[in-house]
Amino acid sequence: MVKSKDSILKDYQNNVEIQTSAVAALKKTLNNISYARLGMFLAEILLVIIVINFGYHWLVGVLAVFPLVGFLALLKRQEKVQDELNYTEKLLFVFQNEVDLITTGKQKYENGSAFANESHPYGSDLDIYGPGSLYSVVNRSNTIEGMQMLAASLGGPVHTGNMLRRQEAIAELKESIMKTFHFRAGLQNHKPHQLEVIKNRMSQDMAEDVKFTQSAALRTYTAAVPFISVAFLAAGSVFGGVAWSFISVYLLFNWCLTAYYGKKLAVLSGAFSGGSTLLSAISGTVKWTEEVQWKSSYIQQFFAGDAHTLQLSKQIKALSGIVNASDAGSSMILGPVLNGLLLWNLRQSIAMAKWYAQCGNRMIAALHTISLLEELISFATLAHNEPGWQNPVFSDTFHFEAIALGHPLIREHKRVVNSYQFDGLPTTDIVTGSNMAGKSTFLRTVGINMVLAFAGAPVCAASMKTSVFDILTYMRIKDSLNDQTSTFKAELNRLKMILEGAKVLQHPLVLIDEMLRGTNSKDKYLGSKVFIQQMMTGKTPTLFATHDLQLSEMIDSYPGQLRNYHFDIQLAEGEMNFDYQLKYGACKTFNAALLLKEIGLSFNPEELI
């Protein structure tokens, strides 16, 4: 049974309430633990005072153990509850984000501004990247690679076979959408840059960084140090003075040895410093991917070979422990003791080198898989949140047909849908119409839904069948003082890109909104006419929005190659009503005079003829 959007929103809101209550309960538990720890500390102090004032008694010594043990146990419990609180807060963030997106149209994930590029064939014109963009609605990735993958999926069509496989994968993830929310919550426990540093270190530099640990003498001595330390301490307890002198020399030697490798130790541990919590979270996310029996072939390929086994999550957890121990060795208080008696930092570096030799490549593959899943989960969440959207059907031959096609970035209560199709052969469709009647939005609606379709995602339509197109757009043309580019020069640059693309691309589709705005009306008409003729000569399917009615008259010279559509307005007692419906034929009703009158510029159009 397909849920309604209201039902989906209600589910999210219920989960927000559950997680909010859980956060409050965990915070209360943390406060209680803090008070209990304070009580244990005060009890220990009281027992010390008793010893100072009344002398030592074996019973007091025994009793003193209990507050100390209790304090340490509560400290361990506090760490566990704090981790649970952190995770629950992230899960609350994930659910609240979906509520915000459905109710306000805005969310807290990255909006893709970093990928905006004016020279992209359609990115700027179709609102693919940046604030209020398709990326900003779809993105649920928290890793840098996941965000890059999503940008690439929206930036150009993949192979048709992969589109179908991606549809299957997205549908599978949609069926387990609540589990994916826990996956996302686990990845919220880190900053994207921190994970990228660890990944880059492991894939580029770590093999070189761990070479110094391969010394057989160093490994042998490091392994023997704990036993030597125990022997020296035992000798010091038995023999006293002279033995302690030897211990001092021994400690000094270990400190000097640690200092000798200090720079290499710093380089090796630097990338992982403070990363224990992050690695622990990654271990949890990897564990989930290992436990699922994936059905779609697109996801199965991520787990092919020996790069992914049930033990990898445990190995990442082990690395988390090594990093945590390494951080302890860098402490100003514990560091000198640990490095003097145990060569702690060298010991952890050797452990890290052994871990890398066994699991390094598998770890890199796992991080890559996490990013791949993030990108697919982004589309799966979109599919879940929009139950009325449909997966498009792909055609191997030239085809486009859409029923009730709407713009995905327009809120549902304001969205107007239209049906549109190419009739078997590429045509140039001229769309004329009144100002603000919907011409530009219609072109963007066609283009942006194709972008979704080619990424393997559902589209904002009752149905859609399409072949694969390479989209080329000409809509938002900007001048640039920095580049010393006028509006007209920017238009020429864009036209050149489209003309070249139409020649070299296999399946070009051109979307034009009001061409040559930066020149006079005569040159604008002639330039537009020549452009349309060239598109028809090259059999390049084109949607061409314009106010120039003369262009619609070209239909008489090019029957079967050119079609006219329009958007108009209804005038009633001087009021304009827009229905935003695509209609066949050229436009007969215009509204510029009325719009100018509203801002204080009145004229009689007949007087200007």
pLDDT in tens, 535-568: 999 999 999 999 888 999 999 999 889 999 999 8
pLDDT at 442 over 70: yes
Pairing of strands 569-572, 575-578: antiparallel
- SS3 for 188? coil
Confidence bin at 302 (pLDDT 50/70/90): confident
Same domain, 493 and 515: yes
Looking at the fold, whether 353 and 377 belong to one and the same domain comes out as: yes
Last residue of a domain, one of 323, 355, 385: 385
Among 385, 418, 434, the domain boundary falls at: 385
pLDDT average, residue stretch 15-43: 94
434 and 529 both lie in a single domain: yes
How many domains is the chain built from?
Answer: 3
Q: Are residues 366 and 456 in the same domain?
A: no
Q: Provide the whole-model pTM.
A: 0.87
Q: Range with the lowest mean pLDDT among 40-44, 163-167, 263-267, 346-350?
A: 40-44
Question: How many CB atoms lie under 10 A from the CB of residue 182?
Answer: 15
Beta strands in 311-468 (DSSP E): 393-394, 400-405, 418-421, 428-433, 463-466
Contact in structure between 588 and 569 (CB atoms under 8 Å): no
Domain residues for the domain of 283 are 185-385
Query: Does residue 157 belong to any structural domain of this protein?
Result: no
Are residues 307 and 409 located together in one domain of the fold?
no
Shared-domain flag, residues 349 and 422: no
Q: Are residues 355 and 494 in the same domain?
A: no
pLDDT of 307 above 70: no
* Phi/psi-derived region of residue 46, left when phi > 0, alpha when psi is between -120 and 50, beta in every other case: alpha
Arithmetic mean of pLDDT, 458-476: 96
Question: What's the average model confidence in pLDDT over 482-508?
Answer: 86
Of the candidates 108, 133, 159, which is a domain's last residue?
108
Predicted local distance difference test score (pLDDT) of residue 608: 47
Percentage of the chain beyond pLDDT 90 is 57
Give the confidence band of 179 by pLDDT, cuts at 50, 70, 90.
very high
> From CA 333, how far away is CA 347, in angstroms rounded?
18
pLDDT at residue 99, as a whole number = 98
Q: List the Cα angle 280/285/288 in 5-degree steps.
A: 130
State yes or no: pLDDT of 135 exceeds 60.
yes
Same domain, 429 and 371: no
CATH number of the domain that residue 565 is part of: 3.40.50.300
| Range among 11-25, 221-235, 333-347 with highest mean pLDDT value | 11-25
Do the domain assignments include residue 155? Answer: no
Q: Is the pLDDT of residue 422 over 70?
A: yes
What pLDDT, in 10s, does the model give residues 8-27?
999 999 999 999 999 999 99
Alpha carbons 314 and 287: distance in angstroms, whole number: 8
Q: Do residues 561 and 479 both lie within one domain? A: yes
Average pLDDT over residues 326-336: 82
